[in-house]
């Protein structure tokens, strides 16, 4: 049952980019807003298709859904035609979004939009509603994309890096020296141009909200604060950590949690690829054979390949189609995370204190891997060679995995000590009076101020 509007309301209209890695953090932010102030009401606007995916997930009554038609044909989503998918999002969602706003019983006092959906700023400006831009990648990636002109001036482009991948870029404000191949990249120039429009429009938004922790990327965040004329709030990891905080020992009857319960502490390698891109089948086979040979315990989430992998991997672990990743990462049996380094997965691993083996594919994942390995020093790369499509052989993976999961090796001990410290830094930031808590409360204060102006207008 949907909540009826409170008499004194603070109404947020939220429009996420239609992909799992964007919808989850925006929903988590909305849940944080309403859990901090029960006079906040959120209308969460998604395509009809996405509503069918998320409507059964638990949410507070103060959050209700509205839909726009499926502007992105499903075959584009499932067919992985990424450029066409983006073209449809950028050109076909604005009008139905505005229509939904027009039909709301309570006009929103603020619009929360995914930074890539630049057209939401135009809608907000037209309707005189303040807009808060929500960035679901790292602050460092934001700084790189904001300074794309510097890359161009230096003859470096964000479209495919097949050559000179080892060349270092060290002129992006707030970002430490990075190999060219690990900068964020786009499949085509057209895609890059469309996605970068969000950065041209950011100056017309009223806020930038960063889904990160200040202490993890303080230089990049300070840079953004100094370069942008709007308030920049670093509102924390926007993962559902509230569930961990409230129920650290939550009982579930999932068989994989029961299996984890029966494994030695820190002994299991958790493996997960992204919801959109994954490594080649050949590469996945090499990793599976390596697991079989190394006798390491593992829990592998492999959406489309679970049954094939079950046959290759041996019987030291489980292969699943899907799991509750945050709950798995927070289990004491998990000792490592072989990850594609999506930003959500990267934050979840850090918040749970699990060290990484990184296997990034594209977009911001190679840069997240760079931060994990070079800046935070809490992980190792599975693939060191960034030039071209190099297959990492089974023998290399066996050597790496065995050393990484050997809790007595100096290498493993050093990495684990650093991730423990980083985990504490994150929990301090989220806790009362921490950097994320302060910024989140400031945002809520601003929403309430806007609403009162709106109510009295």
- Residues making contact with ligand UDP (CB under 6 A): 20-21, 24, 272, 274-276, 301, 322-326, 342-345, 348
Q: Which is nearer to ligand UDP, 194 or 319 (CB)?
A: 319
CB of 150 to ligand UDP, least distance (A): 26
Measure the CA–CA gap between 250 and 358, rounded to whole angstroms. 29
CB of 303 to ligand UDP, least distance (A): 8
Helix (H) or strand (E) holding 199: helix 189-201
Return the DSSP state at 159: B
Residue 292 neighbours by CB distance under 10 Å: 18
Q: Which is nearer to ligand UDP, 215 or 324 (CB)?
A: 324
CA 205 to chain centre: 22
CB of 347 to ligand UDP, least distance (A): 8
CB of 237 to ligand UDP, least distance (A): 10
CB of 409 to ligand UDP, least distance (A): 27
Q: Which is nearer to ligand UDP, 20 or 127 (CB)?
A: 20
CB of 149 to ligand UDP, least distance (A): 27
* Token pair listed for 330: 């927070």
Inter-axis angle of helices 343-352 and 20-36, to 10 degrees? 50
CB of 256 to ligand UDP, least distance (A): 10
CB of 164 to ligand UDP, least distance (A): 26
Q: Which is nearer to ligand UDP, 108 or 184 (CB)?
A: 184
Q: Which is nearer to ligand UDP, 326 or 419 (CB)?
A: 326
Measure the CA–CA gap between 94 and 119, rounded to whole angstroms. 6
CB of 23 to ligand UDP, least distance (A): 9
Q: Which is nearer to ligand UDP, 13 or 271 (CB)?
A: 271
Residue 163 neighbours by CB distance under 10 Å: 11
* Token pair listed for 439: 């910024």
Which sign does the torsion angle of CA 349, 356, 402, 302 carry? Answer: positive
Measure the CA–CA gap between 340 and 328, rounded to whole angstroms. 16
The pair phi, psi for residue 307, each rounded to 5°, is -70, -40
Q: Which is nearer to ligand UDP, 46 or 301 (CB)?
A: 301
Facing residues of 165 across strands? none
Cβ contact 418:307 at 8 Å: no
The pair phi, psi for residue 168, each rounded to 5°, is -100, 140
Helix (H) or strand (E) holding 94: helix 94-103
CB of 304 to ligand UDP, least distance (A): 12
Q: Which is nearer to ligand UDP, 269 or 447 (CB)?
A: 269
Cβ contact 32:238 at 8 Å: yes
Residue 227: helix, strand or coil by DSSP? Answer: helix
CB of 268 to ligand UDP, least distance (A): 15
CB of 279 to ligand UDP, least distance (A): 12
DSSP of 237-277, one letter per residue?
--SSHHHHHH-TT-----HHHHHHHTSPTT-EEEEE--SS-
Residue among 129, 230, 204 nearest 457 (CA):
129
Measure the CA–CA gap between 445 and 10, rounded to whole angstroms. 10
Measure the CA–CA gap between 435 and 353, rounded to whole angstroms. 19
* Token pair listed for 284: 């996945």
Measure the CA–CA gap between 392 and 384, rounded to whole angstroms. 9
Residue 392: helix, strand or coil by DSSP? Answer: coil
Q: Which is nearer to ligand UDP, 340 or 394 (CB)?
A: 340
Facing residues of 133 across strands? 113, 208
């Amino acid at each position: 049952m949907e909540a009826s509007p409170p008499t004194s309301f603070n109404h947020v209209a939220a429009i996420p980019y239609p992909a799992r890695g964007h919808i989850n953090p925006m929903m988590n932010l909305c849940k944080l807003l309403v859990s901090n102030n029960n006079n906040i009401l959120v209308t969460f606007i998604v395509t009809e298709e996405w509503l069918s995916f998320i409507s059964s997930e638990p949410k507070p009554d103060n959050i209700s859904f509205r839909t726009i038609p499926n502007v992105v044909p499903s075959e584009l989503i499932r067919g992985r035609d990424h450029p066409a998918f983006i073209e449809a999002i950028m050109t076909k969602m604005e009008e139905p979004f505005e229509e939904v706003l027009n039909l709301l019983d309570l006009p929103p006092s603020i619009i929360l939009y995914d930074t890539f959906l630049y057209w939401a700023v135009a809608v907000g400006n037209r309707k005189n509603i303040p807009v808060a831009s929500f960035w679901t990648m790292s602050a460092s990636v934001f700084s790189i994309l904001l300074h794309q002109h510097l890359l161009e001036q230096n003859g470096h482009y964000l479209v495919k890096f097949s050559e000179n991948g080892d060349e270092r870029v060290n002129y992006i404000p707030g970002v430490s020296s990075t190999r060219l191949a690990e900068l964020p990249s786009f499949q085509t120039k057209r895609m890059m141009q469309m996605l970068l429009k969000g950065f041209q429009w950011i100056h017309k938004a009223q806020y930038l909200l960063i889904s990160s922790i200040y202490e993890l990327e303080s230089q990049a965040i300070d840079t953004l604060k100094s370069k942008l004329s709007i308030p920049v709030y670093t509102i924390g990891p926007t993962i559902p950590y509230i569930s961990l905080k409230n129920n650290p020992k939550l009982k579930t009857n999932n068989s994989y949690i029961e299996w984890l319960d029966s494994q030695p502490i820190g002994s299991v390698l958790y493996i997960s690829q992204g919801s959109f891109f994954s490594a080649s089948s050949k590469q996945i086979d090499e990793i599976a054979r390596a697991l079989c040979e190394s006798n390491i315990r593992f829990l592998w989430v492999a959406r489309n390949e679970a049954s094939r992998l079950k046959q290759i991997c041996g019987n030291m672990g489980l292969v699943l189609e899907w799991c509750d990743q945050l709950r798995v990462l927070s289990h004491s049996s998990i000792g490592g995370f072989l990850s594609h380094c999506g930003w959500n997965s990267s934050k979840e691993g850090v918040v749970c204190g699990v060290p990484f083996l990184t296997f990034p594919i594209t977009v911001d994942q190679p840069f997240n891997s760079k931060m994990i390995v070079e800046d935070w020093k809490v992980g190792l790369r599975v693939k060191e060679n960034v030039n071209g499509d190099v297959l990492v052989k089974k023998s290399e993976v066996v050597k790496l995995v065995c050393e990484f999961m050997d809790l007595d090796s100096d290498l493993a001990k050093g990495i684990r000590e650093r991730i423990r410290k980083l985990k504490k830094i994150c929990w301090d930031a989220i806790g009362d009076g921490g950097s994320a808590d302060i910024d989140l409360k400031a945002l809520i204060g601003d929403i309430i101020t806007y609403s009162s102006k709106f109510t009295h207008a």
